[in-house]
Structure 1
Amino acid sequence: MGAFLSALRRNQRLVFTPVVAKHDGALKIGILGAADIAPIALVNPARSNPNVVVYAVAARDKSRAAAFAKKHGIPHVKDSYDDLLNDPNIDAVYNPLPNGLHFEWTHKALAKGKHVLLEKPLTSNAEEAEALFNCELLSASRSANSGQGQAQPLILLEAFHSRFSPAFALFRTLLDQPNIEHVFASLYAPAFLFGSDNIRFQYDLGGGAAMDVGTYTIAALREAFGAEPTECMLADLERMPPPLDQCDVNFHAQLRFPNGGIGEVKGGLKGPRGLWPVEFPLIQVTHRPVAVAAADCHGLNGVSERDEVTKKRTVTFVNFILSPHYHRIEVEDEYVISSPASTGDGSRTDGTRTRRVLIKKETRKAYSWKEMGRDLPGEPWLSTYGYMLQEFVDKIQGREGTGVWISGEDSIAQMKAIDMVYEKSGLGVRPTSVYRAKVV
């Protein structure tokens, strides 16, 4: 009952985020577009962050922006995206626009001296990702571009919120990356959530399921292996009906990694049975059997120094996307113990060995850094988006943070992996924006 009440209180605070007073010099953030994700990804976590003020919003339809601002208590409504970027009071921009507009409006924001928190996927393809992170604007300073404030490098972060949580950090510690044999990651959205008119199915805007929920699963493979895929072996992408058939609705892909291991992803925007959750999003990591010393087999009964022991570990991370709401990390170690056989009188035989299998299971959880033994800030009710936002602010304001970050190299590699899947499928990579062609 205690665990249930604790989970209930945690989820209540995740939904009804506490409001805190703001510090002097709090980061003022403007939102490009009144996107459905913005309240979850920025507005709610900003309420409990004393160093963040959601200052303004702009949308293609100003009346929509005004309604959004009124609902979420945002003080300023701008006439256009450009108007928002021209406001010298705004320090940073959150960009949740459609994928095909990520490059354009992020580039424009950087040109105006704004830091950018950019929704995933970073861009429409890897070429755009490389152009964005290699542009001179990121090596410039905020003061040089905006004429305001102390000189500081501009920060661009791809918003992979799930990777910032203590639970994800705990998951990483349980892996033996060189000996990973197979990783499976799955994530489905309910079938009723996105109609055929949704921007996720517009090719010109970088649409497709692998560009949406697929980004989480592909990133999960890369995180688990700690390496980049060398080959896409299979890409079975289910197309939308014509005329939307350049976009995938569900996907199944397999990628090979440098250690010979295979990563497999399944998911999509039309989950089976049409219900949500169809199943919790999960990552399952299977290791190769490795030899272990008998002396290291603590907790296993009847293991002697003469035994030969191999261990095969499987780690399953359930609900890796929104772990603060609920998660569990199941660790199963299978030990195969080969022992010298004995005769009836207890003496040893001439090399014959017996074989037995022991299974050791445990479930791990981490709803805060303290549960991992790390003295870092963060309440158990803090969302994955809240952890990400804090890292973004810490980076801008020069604080050390937790050490979790999505680098430019990481984001570029992620887009290369996504491109690899689309190329193998025959659908081809998502198109480069006209704007990029003009500026690069």
Structure 2
Amino acid sequence: MSSVLGFLRRNWQAYSPPEPPKNTNPIKFGILAKSHPDVEIHAVAARQKDKAEAYAKKHNIPHAFDSYQAILDDPSIDAVYIPLVASLHYEWAIKAIAKGKHVLLEKPATVNAAEAEMLFRSPLLRQPNAPVLLEAMHFRFQPSWQYFLSLVDHENIQTVDSVAELPSYIIPKGNAQLEYNLGGGTMLHLGTYPMYALRQIMGDEPKECVTCRIRSNPPPVDLSDESTEVRFRFHGGRIGNAVINARASVTTLPTFNISVCHKEIKLEDMTLPKGQTKWTRRKLSISNFLISSFWHRIDIVDEYTIRDETNEKDLKKWTVKQSKKVYTFKDANVDQPSEPFWSSFRHQLEQFVNRVRGKQRSGLWVDQEDSIAQARMIDMAYEKSGLPLRPTSKFRLEISMGNLLG
């Protein structure tokens, strides 16, 4: 009963979080600011003024603009969240940075690795006191994910399997995520999560994309994939698999699961008789890794074997199983602020604000080279699949000394 009550309380507060008193000089930001005392919702922009005004009214946002540029031209705005179609991410992120705005950029940060290199290696980001730029890989910031990673022995991994599935009605026909020219495609959107998870768990970049089997969307959007099965090879022969499906049956629940199988390794045990050895293999899984604040479960299975060294016969086998739920950093024995009702987005916002304010860094971050490496991994998969890479933005910002000197 207590776990049911905890589930209800946690998700009610996540939906309607308590609003702390705002600090005297908060960062003026967007809708994610509701439960953070150091951030204030200030403005929203849309190409149609009536849509911007309706959104602002619904969410009690004081200002509504009818152009994205108006947001960037407002000197009172410190930071912007960019959730536009992926093909516009590069253009508006670089424009915002040139205006001195901190940027929280919806994933995928860019549509391909060439764009990622242009954005994340821009001279604008190398200047003193450059704005903060973060790709919003929100699940990376969850206590549950950090705890799960702490259980992994990177070098002794054998295989990792990641699954991300959505029922077909989540991304309906006509959605921009299906349009090739707008940076559409399941691997680039839904697929970026399980592929990023593979990189994090392996602690390494893939050496090659071994196979990539896709099912394209029907014409006229057949240059974008609706489902994918992709396999990567990592250093030491470790294998990472991802199953991505944005067209699962309507009865399928959103599914975000990962399982890790380690190699069997030998343990030192001085209590064993001569000629006997002790071995172990760890298997891990996490259910609902993407939105684990709603609910999740981490399973740890350690298999042990006593083996005769002369004939390699198994003399004894046993298994130790544990399950864990980690809703706060305190649950993971980590000294970081968090509340049970904080979503992955709220945990992400905490770290973003800390960077903007120049506070002590926690180590939880998606750095610039990380985002570039992620884009390269997705490019590898598209190239293996036979589909073309999403087209690179033609926008180029003329960077003057004025831009660099502020």
Does the TM-score normalized on the shorter chain lie above 0.5? yes
Task: Say if 2:100 and 2:130, in contact at 8 Å, map to a contact too.
Answer: no
Query: Residue 272 of structure 2: which of 289, 304, 312 is its match?
Result: 304
User: Are residue 374 (structure 1) and residue 351 (structure 2) matched?
Assistant: no
SS at match of 2:40: strand
User: Are residue 314 (structure 1) and residue 271 (structure 2) matched?
Assistant: no
* Aligned equivalents of 2:119, 2:368: Cα separation in 1: 9
* Aligned equivalents of 2:370, 2:78: Cα separation in 1: 24
Change (3 A) 1:202 1:439: farther
Task: Say if 2:206 and 2:377, in contact at 8 Å, map to a contact too.
Answer: yes
**Structure 1 equivalent of residue 109 of structure 2:** 122
SS at match of 2:235: coil
CA deviation vs aligned residue, 1:296-327 (integer Å, no higher than 9, x gap): xxxxxxx7364311111111011100111111
Equivalence map 1:133-148=2 (5 Å): 133-141=120-128
Task: Say if 2:305 and 2:314, in contact at 8 Å, map to a contact too.
Answer: no
CA deviation vs aligned residue, 1:382-406 (integer Å, no higher than 9, x gap): 1100000010000010112432000
**Structure 2 equivalent of residue 404 of structure 1:** 364
Task: Say if 2:282 and 2:301, in contact at 8 Å, map to a contact too.
Answer: yes
SS at match of 1:357: strand
User: Are residue 327 (structure 1) and residue 296 (structure 2) matched?
Assistant: yes
**Structure 2 equivalent of residue 287 of structure 1:** 262
* Aligned equivalents of 1:316, 1:289: Cα separation in 2: 17
Letter in structure 1 aligned against 2:37: P
Change (3 A) 1:354 1:110: closer
* Aligned equivalents of 1:82, 1:175: Cα separation in 2: 45
CA deviation vs aligned residue, 1:313-348 (integer Å, no higher than 9, x gap): 1110111001111111101111121158xxxxxxxx
**Structure 2 equivalent of residue 101 of structure 1:** 88
Query: Residue 49 of structure 2: which of 52, 55, 62 is its match?
Result: 62
Task: Say if 1:200 and 1:208, in contact at 8 Å, map to a contact too.
Answer: yes
**Structure 2 equivalent of residue 182 of structure 1:** 159
Query: Residue 221 of structure 1: which of 198, 206, 224 is its match?
Result: 198
Q: How much does 1:438 deviate? A: 8.1
* Aligned equivalents of 1:286, 1:439: Cα separation in 2: 48
* Aligned equivalents of 2:250, 2:283: Cα separation in 1: 29
SS at match of 1:211: coil
**Structure 1 equivalent of residue 373 of structure 2:** 413
Query: Residue 33 of structure 2: which of 14, 24, 46 is its match?
Result: 46
Q: How much does 1:159 deviate? A: 0.1
Task: Say if 1:201 and 1:207, in contact at 8 Å, map to a contact too.
Answer: yes
Q: Which structure has the larger Rg?
A: 1
SS at match of 2:56: helix
**Structure 2 equivalent of residue 356 of structure 1:** 316
Letter in structure 2 aligned against 1:7: F
**Structure 2 equivalent of residue 33 of structure 1:** none
User: Are residue 390 (structure 1) and residue 350 (structure 2) matched?
Assistant: yes
* Aligned equivalents of 1:321, 1:379: Cα separation in 2: 17
Change (3 A) 1:9 1:246: same
**Structure 1 equivalent of residue 178 of structure 2:** 201
Letter in structure 2 aligned against 1:194: I
**Structure 1 equivalent of residue 251 of structure 2:** 275
Letter in structure 1 aligned against 2:379: D
User: Are residue 167 (structure 1) and residue 154 (structure 2) matched?
Assistant: no
**Structure 2 equivalent of residue 144 of structure 1:** none
Where structure 1 has 5 or more consecutive residues not aligned to the other structure, the ranges are 31-42, 142-151, 296-302, 341-349
Q: What's the RMSD between the two structures over aligned residues?
A: 1.8
* Aligned equivalents of 1:235, 1:436: Cα separation in 2: 32
* Aligned equivalents of 2:327, 2:236: Cα separation in 1: 32
SS at match of 1:74: coil
User: Are residue 13 (structure 1) and residue 13 (structure 2) matched?
Assistant: yes
Task: Say if 1:191 and 1:275, in contact at 8 Å, map to a contact too.
Answer: no
Change (3 A) 1:304 1:139: same
Change (3 A) 1:439 1:129: farther
Change (3 A) 1:384 1:191: same
Where structure 2 has 5 or more consecutive residues not aligned to the other structure, the ranges are 401-406
Change (3 A) 1:331 1:59: same
Identity %: 40
CA deviation vs aligned residue, 1:80-106 (integer Å, no higher than 9, x gap): 111110000000110000000000000
